Amino acid sequence: MADVTEEDVVFAFAKAWNRLEPDGFLALLAPEARYASQWVFDELVGVSAISDYLRGKMRTVRAHSANDPTSRVRVEVGRTAQGQDSRPCAFMTQGNDNEVQAAVVFEISQGKVSRYDLCIPQ
């Protein structure tokens, strides 16, 4: 994808989480991409650090969700309603509850994801 858009990345992220297969999303990251989350103490820098973290999270979800439906993660495609209004983003839920537990936004630079942030919505 030479001209990857935020919307392309949101779809790839949702597909990765909904299938628990991160490779398609990870291929869109710039070498020095950054990931910040309100649930992760330190910002992750670089494809290797992000890849290790994301693969580990998905392994854990896969292992636990087979017997515990409250561990299942679902990601839907949406748009922000505040800040940069109508910006593509991903909304994450976990378990049987449909309440959005996280919103994820992405920054693109030179055709790759340079940064993504996971936020707890208000």
Q: Tell me the C-alpha to C-alpha distance, in Å, between residue 81 and each of 32, 43, 93, 95, 121.
A: 29, 25, 18, 24, 11
Taking only the tens place, the pLDDT of each residue in 52-89 is: 999 999 999 999 887 887 888 999 999 887 766 788 99
Give residues with Cβ within 8 angstroms of 14, minimum separation 6.
75, 76, 77, 90
**Helices and strands in the chain: count of H runs, count of E runs:** 3, 6
pLDDT at 2: 62
Taking only the tens place, the pLDDT of each residue in 27-60 is: 999 999 999 998 788 999 999 999 999 999 999 9
| pTM, full prediction | 0.90
Task: State residue 48 phi and psi, 5-degree precision.
Answer: -60, -50
pLDDT at 81: 77
DSSP letter (8 states) at residue 69:
G
